[in-house]
Structure 1
Amino acid sequence: MDLSTPLETICRLIVRARELEAQVPAIETDEEKDPTDSDDEFAVLEDEANEAIEEEIEALLDDLGDDQLQEVLALALVGRGTYDASEWDDAIEAAADPDAEDPADQLLDMPTLAAYLEAGLAAFDLSCEGMGQID
């Protein structure tokens, strides 16, 4: 299986998806305090919505051609266990289903997108090892 989507692009998507997944929803309180003054050492991780990361993921997906977007979705489906590596053609067919939700929306709705993509790459003996920030 040869990817038409650059591995660097998939790896960048993995990094950004990890960052998005690591965010903890902010807890609403009546008092507005500086999170660094809190007794909760993890309060600084609370970020209601770091829209910049989500926007970057959306931009990465928007920059892909339809076939590449379907390929990334198929990788995530393999990584999720919906298909295995030997069923690649079936995964691509499912990702290209015109009656299904938009592939970009499907990817954005996956709560553990980074893990699915990593597992999908691993199913084909590919990885992001040695790709900049991903070591």
Structure 2
Amino acid sequence: MAIELTINPETIRMLVQKARVANAALEDTFEDGHEGDVEFDPDTLSEGHHHEGLVEEENDDFSAEELTELIDDLNVDEAAELVAIAWIGRGDYEPADFASATDDARSRAAGPTSTYLLGMPMLADYLEAGLDTLEL
């Protein structure tokens, strides 16, 4: 199936890699069932918030922010194709319906494409599956 894309498939593969890195940065560090547990030691608890000379670590992982910017920098056609490829990878559309999926993505756009796509927990998998399904 030959599909003419506005967005380069290599760009999509790069976005897949960045999405995987961004998701890896969001690892769940809590033990199951203890997400809301907070323990305080009444002997060392004080009214002030002291760092005792320690510098707060800043998160130097800009992968999610970078991914957001890359997606938001796509033009309307590229963004619609990216969403359509994710939908095909998710199984919402068949490969033969790519043009229809792209039109639907364009007409349904109601905000930043990055907000919509990054709300998909399996975005990287969907994009990869979409590329494979479309043989790109």
TM over 0.5: yes
- Over aligned residue pairs, what C-alpha RMSD do you find? 2.2
| 1:8 equivalent in structure 2 | 10
| 1:112 equivalent in structure 2 | 122
Indicate if the aligned counterparts of 2:72 and 2:112 stay in contact, CA closer than 8 A. no
Partner AA of 2:9 in structure 1: L
Structure 1: tracts of 5 or more residues without a match: 32-48, 127-135
The one of the two structures with greater contact order (alpha-carbon pairs below 8 A, sep at least 6) is 2
Which runs of structure 2 are paired with 1:77-116 in the superposition (5 Å)? Answer: 77-98=87-108, 100-116=110-126
- Quote how far apart the aligned CAs of 1:106 are: 1.4
Call closer, same or farther: CA 1:102–1:62 in 2, change over 3 Å: closer
Indicate if the aligned counterparts of 1:17 and 1:114 stay in contact, CA closer than 8 A. yes
Q: Which has the larger radius of gyration?
A: 2
Give, in whole Å, the separation in 1 of the partners of 2:114 and 2:18: 15
Find the partner of 2:69 among 49, 59, 62. Answer: 59
Find the partner of 1:24 among 27, 33, 56. Answer: 27
Q: Does 1:124 align with 2:134?
A: yes
Q: Find the residue that maps to 1:79 and give its secondary structure.
A: helix
| TM-score, length of structure 2 as denominator length | 0.70
Indicate if the aligned counterparts of 1:76 and 1:116 stay in contact, CA closer than 8 A. yes
Call closer, same or farther: CA 1:103–1:62 in 2, change over 3 Å: closer
Identity of aligned residues (%): 36
More helix by share: 1
| 1:75 equivalent in structure 2 | 85
- Quote how far apart the aligned CAs of 1:7 are: 1.9
- Quote how far apart the aligned CAs of 1:99 are: 6.1
